[in-house]
Amino acid sequence: MSNGGADDAAYIKLVSNDGFVFHIHKSVARGSGAVRNLLSSSGQFKESQTNEFNFRDIRGPILEKVCQYLYYKHKYDQTWTEIPEFPIEPEIALELLMTADFLDV
């Protein structure tokens, strides 16, 4: 149960079409242009008020991989060290690419 504290406001909820739920930090989620635009819409979209994003066309395993990539991107965004390769399983590559394009990742 949430206490309504400042930490709750720092996270958003992403829900896949098959009911998987992912809570990620807003600063990480802003790595997606689509999510960033919805968050900065000043109340024009219910998602900017509820911090909950439901994706009717994205399966749980694909959304999970997108969340992993957003954290990876956030971690290595402004680093000068060698960046390790982000692993993508070949069987999900095409679906992941289409989802990344849709989410502007």
Q: In total, how many domains does the chain have?
A: 1
Residue 21 lies inside a defined structural domain of this protein: yes
pLDDT value, residue 20: 97
Which domain covers residue 66, as residue numbers?
6-103
pLDDT digits 0-9 by tens, 43-82: 677 777 788 999 999 999 999 999 999 999 999 998 898 9
pTM: 0.85
Residue 25 lies inside a defined structural domain of this protein: yes
CATH for 90: 3.30.710.10
pLDDT value, residue 3: 44
Residue 1 lies inside a defined structural domain of this protein: no
Sequence-separated (6 or more) residues with CB below 8 Å from residue 48: 38, 39, 40, 41, 42
